[in-house]
């Protein structure tokens, strides 16, 4: 891979005008995207293309790597059909209709590089998080595809009375996608929410929406938290425990969870999405202070 620009990956996502349309997916390749927790152990032999109806090709979104993975310079930018940079946080639509939402993948399942949208950089590309100038890794692989719901924001000035008065963490809402396929960094999946976990991280509220990709073979079987327990037994507990404990190996205390330490149901998850989408809209209208956040 070149030191400055790697191979371009293509992902397509329905914009607001695509509501209700079905997408066709070309056969996937058979190369895996693998991140170990050791720097340098990376394979990026991957390419997947989602094809929209030809009349809607201008709505395609292209994810482009710049720099080399597992370096401080690495970024995944998003381009619209004309090649213009857009923000995966602000410009990818949230709603697809019928309870379906777009989900932007930051961290593929079974990897440990802590990738995240750079909320303070123009066009909010995906990068690897750092601490004291060093790249960050989870102490062990995350077992689910992880990323964000676009056009959502957890307002740090809003104290949630239902979750111990905790303030929002100033980030988009996180998604834990429980499907069987390992997604790619920058891929955009159509998902349906199933449950919500109210994680409290150092006093800040950091929602985890549990969802499943509509492409997953078992997607039709699960529509609420109870279905997850039936068809993915132990998964909700495993997600809670993973996020509760992942900081402990670094000498930090365990995270806590509100709402009785249990996963809330689908309706509650939809309520969280609606509220945080409204908060994002206020942010974009400059009704609340943006601070260092990029609104481009």
User: Which residues pair with residue 95 across a beta bridge?
Assistant: 101
What CATH number does residue 134 fall under?
3.90.80.10
Q: Which domain holds residue 268?
A: 88-284
Q: What is the pTM of this model?
A: 0.81
Query: Is 259 inside any structural domain?
Result: yes
| Percent of the chain predicted with pLDDT > 90 | 80
Residues 117-134, buried b or exposed e (16+ Cβ, 10 A)?
Answer: bbbebebbbbbbeeeeee
**166 located within any domain:** yes
Confidence of residue 59 (pLDDT cuts 50, 70, 90): low
pLDDT score for 67: 97
Q: Please indicate, yes or no, if residue 171 is contained in any of the structural domains.
A: yes
Q: What is the pLDDT of residues 183-203, one digit of tens each?
A: 999 999 999 999 999 999 999
pLDDT of residue 60: 86
Q: How confident is the model at residue 51 (pLDDT cuts 50, 70, 90)?
A: very low
* Residue 23 reports pLDDT greater than 60: no
Q: CA–CA separation, 205 vs 203, rounded Å? A: 7
Our answer to whether residue 123 is catalytic in this structure is: no
For residue 16, give both structure tokens. 């607001």
**Does 31 reside within a domain?**
no
pLDDT the model gives residue 27: 34
Q: Tell me, what's the pLDDT at 28?
A: 36
Number of domains in the chain: 1
Task: Tell which wins on pLDDT, 1 or 150.
Answer: 150
Residue 170 covered by a domain: yes
**In-domain check, residue 218:** yes
Q: Considering the chain, what is the average pLDDT of its residues?
A: 85
Could you read off the pLDDT of 209-260 as tens digits, one per residue? 999 999 999 999 999 999 999 999 999 999 999 999 999 999 999 999 999 9
Residue 25 lies in a domain: no
Residue in 137, 138, 146, 246 annotated catalytic: 138
Tally of CB atoms within 10 A around 262: 15
Q: Please check whether residue 8 is in contact with residue 62, taking contact to mean a CB–CB distance below 8 angstroms.
A: yes
Percent pLDDT > 70 in the chain is 80
Residue 114 has pLDDT above 80, yes or no: yes
Considering the domain boundaries, does residue 151 fall inside one?
Answer: yes
């Amino acid at each position: 891979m070149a030191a400055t620009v790697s191979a371009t990956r293509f992902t397509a996502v329905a914009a607001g005008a695509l509501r209700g349309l079905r997408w066709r997916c070309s056969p996937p390749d058979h190369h895996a995207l693998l991140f170990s927790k050791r720097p340098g152990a990376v394979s990026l032999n991957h390419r997947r293309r989602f094809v929209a109806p030809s009349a809607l090709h201008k709505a395609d979104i292209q994810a482009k790597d710049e720099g080399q993975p597992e370096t401080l310079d690495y970024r995944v930018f998003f381009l619209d059909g004309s090649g213009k940079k857009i923000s995966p946080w602000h410009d990818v639509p949230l709603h697809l209709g019928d309870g379906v939402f777009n989900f932007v993948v930051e961290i593929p399942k079974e990897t440990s590089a802590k990738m995240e949208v750079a909320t303070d950089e123009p066009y909010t590309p995906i990068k690897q998080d750092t601490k004291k100038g060093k790249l960050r890794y989870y102490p062990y692989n995350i077992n689910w595809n992880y990323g964000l719901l676009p056009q959502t924001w957890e307002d740090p000035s809003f104290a949630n009375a239902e979750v111990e008065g905790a303030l929002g963490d100033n980030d988009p809402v996180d998604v834990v996608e429980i499907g069987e396929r390992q997604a790619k960094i920058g891929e955009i999946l159509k998902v349906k929410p199933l449950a919500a976990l109210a994680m409290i991280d150092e006093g800040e509220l950091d929602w985890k929406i549990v969802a499943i990709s509509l492409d997953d073979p078992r997607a039709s079987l699960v529509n609420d938290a109870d279905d997850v327990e039936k068809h993915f037994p132990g998964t909700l507990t495993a997600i809670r425990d993973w996020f509760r404990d992942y900081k402990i190996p670094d000498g930090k205390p365990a995270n806590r969870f509100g709402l009785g330490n249990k996963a809330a149901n689908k309706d509650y998850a939809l309520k969280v999405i609606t509220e945080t989408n409204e908060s994002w809209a206020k942010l974009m209208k400059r009704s609340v202070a943006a601070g260092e956040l990029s609104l481009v």
